[in-house]
Amino acid sequence: MTENLLNFDAEQMTAWFAEQGEKPFRAKQVLRWLHKAGESDFNAMSDLAMSLRSKLKLTACVKSPQVMREETATDGTQKWLLDVGTGNAVETVFIPETDRGTLCVSTQAGCALDCAFCSTGKQGFNRNLSVAEIIGQLWWANRELGKNQEGIWPITNVVLMGMGEPLLNFDNTVHALRLMLDDNAYGLSRRRVTVSTSGIVPAMDRLRDECPVALAVSLHAPNDALRNVLVPVNQKYPLKELMAACGRYLEKAPRDFVTFEYVMLAGINDSVQQARELIALVREVPCKFNLIPFNPFPQAPYQRSDMQTVMRFRDVLMQADIVTTIRKVRGDDIAAACGQLAGKVQDKTKRTHRLTEVAQ
């Protein structure tokens, strides 16, 4: 059985090469070829001894998820449906901007959290993605998009905001993060890699200690009663615990604030009074807000707040000296916008089956 080298961060790669009787510097060489050069052909790794290249062809491989479908939106956003086997597919999105290129990466096939406004959650949950399946999205997207004239890859930022809850796939997520940060791999700044979580408090503390990167928290409600409905994991980790965890995270975070993501749902969470509740809620947590227009999907139970309401909500927060932005909707014409990623999931939770029964 061959080892997929995309599964290894630097420490794991070094250990594997040691098992093969090779010196540690070989691991660094191969990491550079795989991730900095985007190379998958061992024969092309010219600074490796011929004997090692021959050995690698027998013992190792470089395999990322295969593309099943590709779509490009009118605004240039690209979405790829990637096959991760056993009837499952995940979605990855590239968002080009004038000063950056952001890749939105998935960490699970489906999602178990069942947030009320998210089409991914309605697909159910099958399994965690491997390290190779997570980092493979970045590896493949770089190769697909190609280097610019200066020989630089187009992806400057990575957000783990695709399908799944990253902190419920903690170990594989952290190994992938370490590759993103490694100077022998992608060399991204911790400030340019963001993990988005719905608020898995113990895992937030672990991430702070093991691999602190920029943090975004899917908040979406100013009080427990509403958040229990919109983000059911709040029933286990209520807002008081979540705010305390955010404060602890900032002790080691690369940014001096937490980003709170807040999907604007018409008549549900978008009133001036709810904005004032938010101000009181986050008083002790240095933060900024990213207000996200709701992106509808089939059978969605909510409507998008109108822009006047969103701007009024923003103004209330900004008057309290909270930096607040309104996220520009990108890729919604190909269902690549926030909350729209659905992929293809063999649901082990049987949620899809239960929803069908209820509908009938």
List active site positions: 91, 338
| Alpha-carbon 73 to chain mean position | 20
Query: Hey, what are 34's tokens?
Result: 């795989």
Q: Which residues contact 111 (CB under 8 A, 6 or more apart)?
A: 118, 120, 121, 123, 125, 163, 164, 165
Q: Can you give 290-317 as a three-state secondary structure string?
A: EEEECCCCCCCCCCECCHHHHHHHHHHH
What residues pair up with 71 in beta bridges, in sequence order?
79
Q: Which helix (H) or strand (E) holds 204?
A: helix 201-210
The owner of tokens 């949950």 is: 125
Query: Hey, what are 48's tokens?
Result: 């490796």
Residue 84 is given by DSSP the state E
Q: Which residues contact 253 (CB under 8 A, 6 or more apart)?
A: 208, 212, 213, 214, 215
CA separation for the pair 36, 30 (Å, rounded): 10
Residue 121, amino acid: G
CA separation for the pair 326, 185 (Å, rounded): 33
Q: Which helix (H) or strand (E) holds 85?
A: strand 78-85
CA separation for the pair 104, 85 (Å, rounded): 20
Q: Which residues contact 283 (CB under 8 A, 6 or more apart)?
A: none
Residue 284 is given by DSSP the state T
Number of neighbours of residue 350 by Cβ within 10 angstroms: 10
Q: Which residues contact 219 (CB under 8 A, 6 or more apart)?
A: 227, 260, 261, 262, 278
Contact 231, 221 (CB under 8 A): yes
